[in-house]
């Protein structure tokens, strides 16, 4: 664990520790997205299960090396964080497979809006009135994507929005655990909830991966574990609204990866919708950080 923190500490002093953590997390999440998109033949729940199994093994090794107690302190919130994270990930992986990569990633990036809204209820963090205008702008972008991209169906879009809601809920549970449980323990609880929950369904809905797909599944698990650890440290280091803005580098990654690897193009009006979502969420985050 100390090695992970030391690696981040050598980064540019212009960024706070929480920002450095989220930048590392965003890069590894982009690698995960690429792998999930590649595995279009393998069901989303199966990918989530293997991702959780890798995290379970790696997480336990890191916890033992750090001399931590794996069961944590605030068990109810740890379990709730695991449930919310599981729901978010299954739905998000599904949208990565059925929607254009850039669109799926951008819709998931509505999660900071829901993070801020839920934080107002759960953590008593205030929301400034002008932020609601930016929330409306972001959802206007969702409408544009749905209206002008025939590859995006209404049910699939609703699944993507639901994934963002559960992600926002999970981030707030992480924030609530600050000072109570170590980031590694928070990450470890995700597979402890996911494996029995998703595994019981996967047993009866199994699709056998090929040799190449097995390799990609393992790499997805490793990349996501690193991303999850850094994301957890980021949200425990600073206010949720201060670090979530840097997630949006993922949209840039997704557009480039979708074009280069998957021959996906983004229609102009759909691209405008993506821009409105990013503008609304980024401006909301900026106003959230400003005093007053």
Q: Dmax of the chain from CA atoms? A: 56
Q: Would 7 be classed as within a structural domain? A: no
Looking at residue 14, its pLDDT comes to 59
- Total domains in the chain come to 1
Q: Would 89 be classed as within a structural domain? A: yes
Q: Would 9 be classed as within a structural domain? A: no
Q: Would 64 be classed as within a structural domain? A: yes
CA–chain centroid gap for 124, Å, is: 23
Looking at residue 288, its pLDDT comes to 61
Q: What is the pTM of this model?
A: 0.79
Per the structure, the complete domain to which residue 26 belongs is given by 17-289
Q: Would 135 be classed as within a structural domain? A: yes
Q: Would 229 be classed as within a structural domain? A: yes
Q: Would 232 be classed as within a structural domain? A: yes
Q: How many residues does the chain have?
A: 292
- Positions of the chain with pLDDT lower than 50, given as ranges: 1-2, 6-13, 291-292
Q: Would 8 be classed as within a structural domain? A: no
16 phi and psi angles, rounded to 5 deg: -70, 165
59 with 187: CB under 8 angstroms? yes
Distance CA 88, CA 101 (A): 17
């Amino acid at each position: 664990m100390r090695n992970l923190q030391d690696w981040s500490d050598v980064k540019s002093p212009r960024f706070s520790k929480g920002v450095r953590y989220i930048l590392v997390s965003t890069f590894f999440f982009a690698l995960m997205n690429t792998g999930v998109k590649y595995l279009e033949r393998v069901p989303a729940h199966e990918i989530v299960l293997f991702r959780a199994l890798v995290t379970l093994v790696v997480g336990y090794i890191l916890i033992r090396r750090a001399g931590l107690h794996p069961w944590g302190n605030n068990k109810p919130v740890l379990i709730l964080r695991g449930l919310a994270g599981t729901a978010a990930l299954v739905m998000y992986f599904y949208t990565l497979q059925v929607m254009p990569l850039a669109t799926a990633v951008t819709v998931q990036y509505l999660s900071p809006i829901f993070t801020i809204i839920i934080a107002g209820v759960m953590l008593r963090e205030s929301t400034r009135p002008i932020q609601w205008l930016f929330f409306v702008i972001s959802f206007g972008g969702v409408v544009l994507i749905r209206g002008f991209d025939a590859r995006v169906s209404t049910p699939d879009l609703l699944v993507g929005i639901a994934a963002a809601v559960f992600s926002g809920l999970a981030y707030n549970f992480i924030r609530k655990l600050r000072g109570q449980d170590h980031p590694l323990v928070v990450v470890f609880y995700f597979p402890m909830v996911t494996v029995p929950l998703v595994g019981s369904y996967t047993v009866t809905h199994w699709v056998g991966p090929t040799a190449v797909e097995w390799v990609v599944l393992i790499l997805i698990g490793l990349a996501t574990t690193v991303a999850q650890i850094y994301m957890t440290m980021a949200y425990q280091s600073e206010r949720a609204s201060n670090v979530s803005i840097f997630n949006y580098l993922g949209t840039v990654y997704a557009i480039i990866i979708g074009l280069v690897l998957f021959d996906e193009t983004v229609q102009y009006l759909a691209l405008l919708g993506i821009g409105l979502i990013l503008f609304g969420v980024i401006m909301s985050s900026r106003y959230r950080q400003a005093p007053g």
